[in-house]
Structure 1
Amino acid sequence: MERRRSLPDILAGGVFVLIGGAFVAGSLGYELGTPLRMGPGAFPLLVGAIVAALGLAVVVKGLVAGEVVAFGPVPWRAVTVIVLAILFFGFTVRGLGFIPASAVTALLTTLASRRVRPLTAVAVTAGLTAAGTLIFVVGLQLRIPLWGPWLGF
């Protein structure tokens, strides 16, 4: 039986290797520190190496034990909405504040799918906004205002 290569696995793994490699390369510009006193470059180095290693494993799987899988149509609506939502967050988080910017971003990305119902989208938005606020603002203590100056707060 002839083994076939899986182009989607090879491409996806290659993207992960590139992203992980970029994080590793970027982290080398910062101090790494020691295992007990990690510097600012240690975490991105570790995460980048893990992402690159997983990507390499996916590439090998695609080369060795691939399946014949054809690409389907590209969901351009979802791709466009998600990219616009991320750009919206980046450009408005300081002006609107973390809660409104993340809520709008979560709502837009949830509505990128045509199968999501409005009530589900609102519930997911509330959950993601609460989780993001707890993780980033409360837990990690990022200095991002919850409500921004554009809203008069």
Structure 2
Amino acid sequence: MSYTDIPQELRDLRQWGLYHRIWQPSKNKYTKVPVDPYSGGAGKSNDSSTWSDFATASNAMEHFANADGLAFYFANGYFGIDIDHIKSDVDAFIEGDRDNNIVDEFVISTQSYTERSMSGEGIHIIAKGNLPDGQRRHNNFEMYDNGGAFLCFNR
């Protein structure tokens, strides 16, 4: 994946930052924390003063050792969908198998941007619109539209 694959509509937004991965041995997985693209210090997913435009965030990655990639913050009518533990569907989709595939269902049914998750076992989706009220998490499926959530773009 290349950052040039990110749609211009998303790059035009001032909802960008950086993230840093931290290994959590007790959970046997990484956690991701926001990084301020202006200072390299702690970013905040719920504080737009620590967000920047795409160009600033992209350029900042070269200056801060703790920057592992770009972060996109959910706000202003954009929401995210995170689906984990679907490695076989992700692999099948990449190999061209579009039949009975959850990845294909999301790519076709939404006007969205989709990328493979850092683990390679899921997908992250950014779409425009409003999430319905109610439950936002179910098993391996999560949806976010604000307040502490962000999507990581792999380097």
Common fold by TM > 0.5: no
Q: What TM-score, normalized by structure 1, do the two folds share?
A: 0.21
Q: What TM-score, normalized by structure 2, do the two folds share?
A: 0.21
Bigger CA radius of gyration: 1
Q: Which has the higher contact order (CA 8 A, sep 6+)?
A: 2
